Structure 1
Amino acid sequence: MGRLSGAPVRHETNPEPMPDAAQPAPKPQKKSAGRDLSAAIGVGVGLGAVIVASLFIVKAVFVGVVAVAVVVGLWELTKRLDERKGIRAPLVPLALGGAAMVVAGYVRGAEGAWVAMALTALAVLVWRMTEPPENYLRDVTAGVFAAFYVPFLATFVAMMLTAEDGPERVLTFLLLTVVSDTGAYAVGWRFGRTKLAPRISPGKTREGLIGAVTFAMVAGALCMEFLIDDGAWWQGLLLGLAVAVSATLGDLGESMIKRDLGIKDMGTLLPGHGGIMDRLDSLLPTAPVVWLLLVLFVGSG
């Protein structure tokens, strides 16, 4: 039957919505290294070429490279301390004393390094006297800490170089530290689950530490067997273990400093890496460890 005349016509003003189409499941996101990897590799290869070339061509040139790295590292550290905490560690005596410390370690050995360290600390105390006394103790304490942390630890690299197989010793030190860092990164990135020190460096894992130890011990056995005069593979295992531990502690130590300062990197000089201090963090505390163990294993050369 037709619609009755005069009956109201109903219009569907709010039609029932159609069920939503099935949405595709989100793609799992890949892990990110957090840095520009291509830039980091390029800068790392360039730095490695400069270091190796200077190391095996003229020893004095390599000592100069270490001194320059020390001065730049001190500049980054003192600049960040001033910017973030208002701590004014005097850069001039630190830079001059730091460079002199590296040269003294190369020319006069441990005795020269200690004398240069003492004179640098004294220079920091005297230099800071030219400014108002407020915060004097805080500033000179930071200055003496910076002198020990950067140039004094770096003198052990120069002291390694004085042996007959000095270039090979320094190369072993550099290779083991880099291999330890690479092993920690690779294994931690792929398999890392358990945080090593979440309050200091959330990215570090226990699995990464195992990778660092494994990679460094293998590399240490190869280096001691084929690079170091009178070295033995078992000594390399111990050396690699010590390097992995010291490099990890050095990295955590600088991470603690950066967390206290509220910064991610100490500088921006090296694309993909941060600053010079961000590359020296694991090298500096490892230098005296490698120097000492090599002296114990094969002598001072």
Structure 2
Amino acid sequence: MVEKDKKEILLSVKNLKKYFLVEKNQYLKAVDDISFDIYKGETLGLVGESGCGKSTCGRTILRIYNPTAGTIEFEGKSVHSLKGKNLKEFNRRAQMIFQDPYASLNPRMLVSNIVAEGIDIHNLSHGDERKKRIDDLLELVGLNREHANRFPHEFSGGQRQRIGIARALAVDPDFIVCDEPISALDVSVQAQVVNLLQELQTKYGLTFLFIAHDLSMVKYISDRVAVMYLGSMSEIAKSDELYKKPLHPYTEALLSSIPLPDPIIEKTRQRIVLEGDVPSPINPPNGCKFVDRCNKAMDICRENRPKMVEIEPEHFVACHLYDK
């Protein structure tokens, strides 16, 4: 956890846009003008419905995609203007754990070569030192050093995800984008992987962008949570604050869908059911993107896009209900 008086911004995203050309003069607006900061040593959870742009945001931050507009700064330096040695250093310090633990691993490579790929690219160790580094990484993520001489198909989904984590840790990163790292795993294995990530964060001072749609797990692992809807940011707040007092109607609906372990409370609580379909990201509404599904919509919501404003300390929301 990050203490309030020790916060230092590691990554700053400002007015980020990522559009994909679909047809002539038609663009899919996957990420549409979002801004947020990530502090050193914290976990920022990024949640929202499938297709809202979470993964595209994470991939754009790591230069897998080039942004259409906006800036991404890592320790005050623009990520997408880095070149040469500076770019290579950023690629070492910022890593990604991918959603599919099988598709992200080369099936023709031994685990030892998969884990050591970054070590070799960045020339971090050789010979016996390289082998020891691989063995130590495998044991660090709960595998055996004998697993180094096997292929990915010989492992379970949870084990493959651990290999992906070992690969990300191999180059001593400072920042890791976790792109739905547990969505393809069994529930029992999900808890193991999340606990492993927390242990590694405490041990190495890592910073995470944790992308997921499992709201219960996001609350458990995150210091702060950011909510996305159709490429735009709806709300950002501390984890406990967001779950206790959601401000945006979309956030309220999302949180009302979380199953509760107490059947009596589950039966009596009021569930918010969203009506209508998610608008097309190719042709979203001119005003608030949530306007067609919101039961609190006003005329201004159809005319103007709401801006992100701070309603309470460190609690930001983009909704005309809170216009001053």
Please classify the TM superposition score into its range, dividing by the shorter chain length. Answer: under 0.3
Between Structure 1 and Structure 2, the one with more helix by share is: 1
Between Structure 1 and Structure 2, the one with more strand by share is: 2
Structure (1 or 2) with the larger CA radius of gyration: 1
